[in-house]
Chain A
């Protein structure tokens, strides 16, 4: 059973398009996160949700909009995609108050 899953695994699209990445966790965790890994493999937090409420928003352009329909899902919608958005996006989850995070397999986004 996959603990944290993401779809799609690969996403290739043109500049200016709008796209979504979905994340689901079956661990019963309360908190979910989105991280961005750039071409130099540097990982940085983007958002965090706890029980469907936004907790962290790390100076991410407002073209990025996370949505949490329930505590098992955290989707990432990106409007007007730019070349600089090309990266690998990782979803993660953790229990409330815990520090260990479980990561999904990543979504490699390529903007042409």
Chain B
């Protein structure tokens, strides 16, 4: 069965500092991985996705993630965060029938 574990429930960081949100997955089939962002009281917006090809994936808002098959990880990074990046971030893997299996979420809190 597929599963996703986000290793940090909360990540506080100062503005303009770099950040890494960690995600590990478990899957016995081909892996499609996603990071979604949820701003307060809003729906989910796709940040980036890995389907195949280059293991370094660039997304919107300056975020990027690296697919590491040997470590079964898909960590999200940004070199310099802004206050506006404060949100909940979800890592997900595509499962049977196309459903998304989500991690528990990581609350990124950017402080001035």
Contacts and interface: CB of A to CB of B under 8 A. Distances in A.
Pairing of A with B: yes
Given A100-B34, A100-B49, A45 B100 contact: yes
A103 B34 CA distance: 13
A65 B51 CA distance: 32
B102 A99 contact: no
Interface stretch (A11-19, A36-44, A68-76, A77-85): A36-44
Specify the main secondary structure of chain B where it touches its partner.
strand
Specify the main secondary structure of chain A where it touches its partner.
strand
Given A41-B88, A99-B32, A103-B43, A31 B98 contact: yes
Nearest to B92: A43
A4 to B, nearest CB: 8
Q: How large is the interface on B (under 10, 10 to 19, 20 to 34, 35 or more residues)?
A: 20 to 34
Contacts of A102: 46
A27 interface: no
B69 interface: no
A26 interface: no
Residue of B44, B94, B102 contacting most chain A CB atoms (<10 Å): B44
A94 B104 CA distance: 22
Contacts of B36: 103
Contacts of A103: 36, 43-45
A44 to B, nearest CB: 7
